[in-house]
Every structure is written in C-alpha cells, then in structure tokens.
Structure 1
Amino acid sequence: MSGNQAIWLFTGAATLFLVGTDVFIMSPLLPAISAEFGVTPAAAGWLVTVMAVMYACGSPWAGTLFDRLQERRSYVLVAGLVCFALANLGTALADSFLLLLGSRLAAGLSLAAIAPSVYAFVSGLAPANRRAAWLSVVVSGNLTGLWVGTPLGTLLAGWEGWRLPFLCIAAGSLLLALLNGRVWPKMRKNTLMPQTKRRPLCDVLRSVVVTILWSMAMYGVYTFLGTALAQQNEFTSAQLAVSLTAYGVGAMLGSLSGGRIADWIGERPVSTASLLVLVPFLSLVGTLPSSNWLYPLLFLWALVGYAFVPSYQSRLSNEYPGETGRIMSWNITGMYIGMTLGSYLGGPVYQLWGFTALALICGGFALGAGVLSMGFVGKQVRNAPPDHL
C-alpha cells in the first residue's frame, strides 16, 4: 500500500469515526438534556429521531450530487463537514429545546453529505481486488465511534457537562474538513469502463431491501438488548458495559475480516453467508444465557453480522458502475430505515412476547435478506482502472 493510499484510508476512517461518535453519543446524554430543558424523555428522543430521518432522506440527494460533480466531488464532502461543525456548535450553544432540535436536524442533513461521499471515494479509489478490504477499514472507523468515541464523549460530559462533547466534535469536523479538502485526488467518470445506462430506481430499491432487512434484524435485537439484560439477567452497569464492549469489538473485527474474506472468495458468497449464519446466532442471543456464555456470544453475533457490511457495499459498487455515490447513499438510507423499523416494531413484540420471540422474528428478517441476496443478480464490472486523475 502506497503512502497516498494509507492517507486516504486514515482520512476516511477518521471522518467516519467522528460520524459514528456523533450518531451514538446522543443516547447516553438524553437524560441530562431532558433535565436541563425540562422536557420528557420521550420528547428528548426526538433529537435522535430528527437527525436519523434527515440523514436517511438527505443521503440519496447528496450521493447523486457526488456522482454528477465529477472532478469537484470533494466539495460535497468538505461542505458537509463544515456544515456539520456549525450544526454541532449550534447544539453546544443552544439555549432552547427548539434550537437544539433544529441543530440536530442540520447535523443529520450534513451527515447525509459526509458518509456516502467517504464510501464512494474509497470504493472508487480502491484496487479492484482490495475494494471490500478498503471499505472494511472505513466501516470499522464508524463502528469505533460506538465503542470508543461514545464512552469518551460520555466521560467528557460527566466532567464538564453534555455540551462539551459537541464542541469537540465541531472542532474535529473543521480539522477533518481541511484534511479531506487536501487528500482526495480529482476523480472523473472512467472512460475505460463499459458505459452503462443509469439503473432504474426499482433496481436500486430491490438491492437496498437486503440492507433494510439486515438492519432490522441487527438493530431490532440490539435496541432492546440492554433492557432485557437488566430486567431478565439482572446485569449491573459494569456487566452491561462489558456486554456492549464485546459487541462493539466483534462488530469492528467482523467488518475488517469480512472485507478481507470478500476480496479473497467474492462479495456475493460472503454477504449471503453472513446473513444466513446470522439466523442461528440471533436465536442463541434470544435465550440470554449466563454472562460466561453471553459475552463470547455477543462478540460472535456482531462478528458474523457486520461481515455483511463491507462485502455488500463492495458488491453494490461492482453492480452499479458509475453510480457509486448514488448506490452508497441509498444503502445508507436503507440502513437507517431498517434501524427505525426494527426499533419501532421491536417495542410491541418485546412487551407482548418477550426478548426470545423478538430475536426469533429478527432471525426471520435475516433469513429473508439472505434469500434475497442469493436471488438478486446485478451487472458487475471487475478489474476497472482507478477512478481518479
């Protein structure tokens, strides 16, 4: 790997680490925010909802713009990071709940320009036989925000209040805007690749359904995991922290290993196998065994589940040549739709039938995704020359 390639991967991973930290940090800070502004926890939860909705809705537009700008594609990413810095500064300085809500809405729109651009840059610049491995590195950066960035942000909040983490994210966004503006090479539509028509939206949506079902399976269980462990297994805060750490480490290693294996044996078998093997693991997690068995089980569940992400992203990049920004952005939208549906539908299921039934139903979502993954056939372009000047 050349020096420039290492810088690209570091920049992409660092950028998505900041994104992951911002996405996940709000949840542990909601009690302090609701107390300061005198709103109910349910009302404070809208801070997470509006950001996720704007992130999901804005991504397809930003991805399409990325594809159309050709040599000026980095403008989308840099503009997104600058706006993201301003949005987080607004969050830190908000003196009313309405202003706070508006700042999170702006943060979601900014993220819609950041994440798809990073994935599209990395996918377009990667060697054909290393694309999934490269994508796995930046995906792991995003996941590190869950198990490293969020705990660090929570510690900062405990030290100087909930506003400090957002000031740090704003400062980091400006630094990354400068870095991203300098490191990415100019890119163009590769004239040596076979020219293909813009794929119909129905094809895109059919591909994204696989991601929606995967996300429903993973996050439907994950959303209620902490509650189930506290209520049924009577886990302490320390045990919950160990459980989430085991899951986070497994997710990161699953992403890294899934990308490497996909480059070795192919994206289609890895993405499909990940979905099918996920089914029994979800069933086992639903039994909530004792901590001696649960920690390694959570690690293996995340390891298997997150192997899907880089392998499927690489597969989509091959199946949609010339439309990387578009398909990556729609894939992110699908992921957030699945997260929303999984948590929304999981609540009634958990209350009525319990955690075991929820895990079995989510296993059904994973099985459906695996079947669709086997059946969908897209046009693939391999060994394409690099997409930069």
Structure 2
Amino acid sequence: MAESRPVPVAVRRFPAATLLLLSLGVFLTVTAEALPAGMLPETAADLRVSPEQVGLLISVWAVTVIVTSIPLARVFAYVDRRLVVGGSLAVFALANVATAWAPDYGIALATRVAAAVAHGVFWAVVMVYATALLSPSHLGRGLAIVTAGGTAATVAGLPAGTVLAQLVGWRVAFAALGLAALVMAVLVVARMPRLRPPRPDGDVHAGGFWRDRSLPAIAAFGVAAVLIALGQFATFTYVRPLLSFAGFDEGWAAALLFVYGTAGLVGVVAAGWLADRFPRAALAATLVVFAVALATLAAAMSTAAAVVVALVLWGAAIGAIFPLLQATLMRAATDRTRTLASAGIVVLFNVGIAIGPWLGGVVGGASAPQVTAAVSAIVLAAAAVAGGAGVLLAGRRAPVRDRA
C-alpha cells in the first residue's frame, strides 16, 4: 500500500498566495474553455464560417479533454508538480496566442485542441498539487480558494472576454488571455515550491494501482461527478426558457441569473468551511439541497417567490459542489491513485457536460423546462446517494500526501 508521507514543514503553513496563484490559473483555463460562446458573431464573420462551426470549438475542447487527460496524467504522474502546472500553463498560453493569430478556421481548430490538451493536464494536477501543500484541517478551505477561480470565470471571465471582443475584436481577447497565462506560467515556475511525487510500491504499471484500497470510493465519486454534471447542464442549458415559462421577462431573467451567479460565489466560500467542519456529511447534504432546489423549480414554477428561492439554493449548491467533491476525493485517494483520480473526475465532468444538454433537450427542452428540472432533480438525488456511498467507502482516513 502507498504509505502516508508528511508535507515538508516549509509548506505546512496555509499557503494563501500560492493557492491564489493556482486559482488564477483555474480562472484563465475555464474562461478560455467557453470564450468562443461569448463571441460567436465576431469570430464567425472573421473566419468566414457559420456560428455553429464556431460553437464546435467548444465541443472539440471537451472531447479533447475527455480523450487526453487520463493518458497524460499517467505520463506526468511522477514529474515535479510545479513544472507540470507551469508547463501546461505555458503551452496553454502559446496555444491561445496562436488562436489569436489563426488565419483560418482549420488553424483555429488545431490551436483549440492544443489548448484543451494543456487544460486537461493542468486540471489533472492542480488539485493534487494544492492538496500536497495543505494540512488536513485546511484542505476544504484551500481547495475552495483554488476552485473559486472557475466560478469567477463563469461570473466575470466570460462576460469580460465578450465585452473585450466587442470593443477591440475577438483576436485581442484570445491574445490577452494567452499573455496572462504566460505570466502565470513564469510565476508558477519561479515562485511555487517543488513537489516531486513519490513512486509508491506497486506502481500503476505493475498492477498495484488496481489493488489500491481507495478505488471503490473513487469510483463512487466518479459516478457522482457524471450525475452532477448531467443534472446541472440538462436544466441550466434551458434556464432562459425556464425563467420565461415561469413568467419572468428578459430584464428579470438577467437579474435572476446574476443572483444565481452571486449565490454560486457564496457557495464556494461556504464550501471551504463545510468541507473542513463536516468532511463526511457536507457533500451528500449539499447534493440533497441541489436536488430539492431543482425539484422546487419543477413543482412550483408558477410561484415567483419559490422560483427565486430555488435559484438561490441552486446557485449556492453548484458553487459548493466542486470544491466539496474535490476535497472529499483528495481525502479518500492515496499517493498511488490521487493524480489519476483527479484526472478522472475532470474527464467524467466533461462527459456529463457533453451529455447533459442533449438529455435536457430529449426530456423537455425549451418547450417543457419543468419536466427537465424534475428529471435533473432525480439525477441529482442519485448523485447524492453515490456521493454518500463514496464517503462511507472512504471511511475516516486522512489525506495521504505527496512528498516534495
């Protein structure tokens, strides 16, 4: 079995500056993932393609992450975390600058694939790196800071990129993103601590990985991850028709989505405290709240107050879910399984993201969003069961550390 190894004393203090740096990296990568959605008309006109083809730049990104994340996580499993994070950000930066200079759609597509590969490697390692820098009592709080970058990207990064594209062009938006990521890569390599993972007895390639005692819990969390993304995107894809169906006009819908995003930021902040204070109960309890919020939307769509309350609960729950899941997963995993577990969660989330909109369209879509919300509530209830099972399988074992 992989034995527990302490983090060096030098990195046992709460590394706020380091975590904020990682959070900025998360912000940039998540912003880049969805950026074409905010500049469809400008990009399509410049590259002389249809808006649907520009939309494929997002789909290709997701497929690339699904296909490449786990194999590349295995390749870099025992490389210094600092170099993997910094190197992936550097490749990500160059790919986005190349997108800004792409002369045609084919080159733009190729550069998006390159950026997505770097994105997958970054996400496979960033949570593992952060975990190795944190003491067990601060794990939830620390991972919440890192994942807050993703929520901030949704609330602020994509809108800012859209405004920049409208003011000075979509190419400038991609170039700015790439240059910011390049600065981040330099800072990571220059300022962050070295952390070279140990090679535990019974390496992945020797079959030891498949005998690791943490795998049942990791599998349960993986099921929960797919179901969370599936339930979220089945309904969120059709949130504007849902709000219209509930009687809110465009002005109110925009305001309510802002409230939803703000609640998500509150959820991220709360997740850090919840994960450290209630490490066994927080994940399943938050998933239950998530399911109840969507069930309320389905059942009480004609009541404005109920819809508003449900949106607030929904936003807070989705904001809290990812840091809670990551903290619980990192506590359950061992040195041998942690990197591939982190990569696997990223892959499974992307699978759910890819299938969720299709599921939402099949069961109700824009014409019956209350049905879609009801189905999502059932899916999320199943996610709560899977998450609870993962916690029970993991037991009370403290997180196992990478060694510098």
Unaligned runs of 5+ in 1: none
User: Which residue among 271, 276, 284 is the counterpart of 2:288?
Assistant: 276
Conserved 8 A contact 2:229-2:353: yes
> Structure 1 residues 129 and 351, CA, compared in 2 at 3 Å: closer, same or farther?
closer
Q: Partner letter of residue 12 of structure 1?
A: L
Which secondary structure does the structure 1 equivalent of 2:103 belong to?
A: coil
CA distance in 2, matches of 1:355, 1:65: 43
Residues 310-319 or 212-221, more deviating:
310-319
Q: Partner letter of residue 332 of structure 2?
A: E
Q: TM-score, normalised by structure 1?
A: 0.90
User: Which residue among 20, 23, 41 is the counterpart of 2:51?
Assistant: 41
Unaligned runs of 5+ in 2: 1-10
CA distance in 2, matches of 1:86, 1:331: 26
Conserved 8 A contact 2:94-2:178: yes
Conserved 8 A contact 2:31-2:153: yes
Q: Partner letter of residue 393 of structure 2?
A: G
User: Which residue among 193, 198, 201 is the counterpart of 2:209?
Assistant: 198
Conserved 8 A contact 1:187-1:387: yes
> Structure 1 residues 261 and 39, CA, compared in 2 at 3 Å: closer, same or farther?
same
Q: TM-score, normalised by structure 2?
A: 0.87
User: Which residue among 83, 97, 116 is the counterpart of 1:89?
Assistant: 97
CA distance in 2, matches of 1:84, 1:189: 23
Partner of 1:128: 136
Q: Partner letter of residue 163 of structure 1?
A: R
> Structure 1 residues 379 and 229, CA, compared in 2 at 3 Å: closer, same or farther?
closer
Partner of 1:253: 266
> Structure 1 residues 96 and 200, CA, compared in 2 at 3 Å: closer, same or farther?
farther
Return the offset for 1:54.
Answer: 0.9
Partner of 2:181: 173
| 1:109 and 2:117 aligned | yes
Conserved 8 A contact 1:82-1:174: yes
CA distance in 2, matches of 1:388, 1:80: 21
> Structure 1 residues 351 and 369, CA, compared in 2 at 3 Å: closer, same or farther?
closer
Deviations 1:296-326 (A, max 9, x none): 5322211123322222211111211103221
CA distance in 1, matches of 2:85, 2:169: 30
Deviations 1:227-280 (A, max 9, x none): 4335664632x43432332222222221221221121122x3111111122122
| 1:27 and 2:54 aligned | no
Aligned-residue RMSD, C-alpha = 2.8
**Identical-residue share of aligned pairs (%):** 23
User: Which residue among 331, 339, 343 is the counterpart of 1:325?
Assistant: 339
CA distance in 1, matches of 2:182, 2:51: 31
> Structure 1 residues 298 and 94, CA, compared in 2 at 3 Å: closer, same or farther?
same
Conserved 8 A contact 1:63-1:325: yes
Q: Partner letter of residue 168 of structure 1?
A: A
Partner of 2:362: 348
Q: Partner letter of residue 340 of structure 2?
A: R
Return the offset for 1:136.
Answer: 0.8
CA distance in 2, matches of 1:86, 1:289: 50
Partner of 1:218: 232
| 1:148 and 2:170 aligned | no
Return the offset for 1:384.
Answer: 5.6
The number of residues matched between the two structures is 385
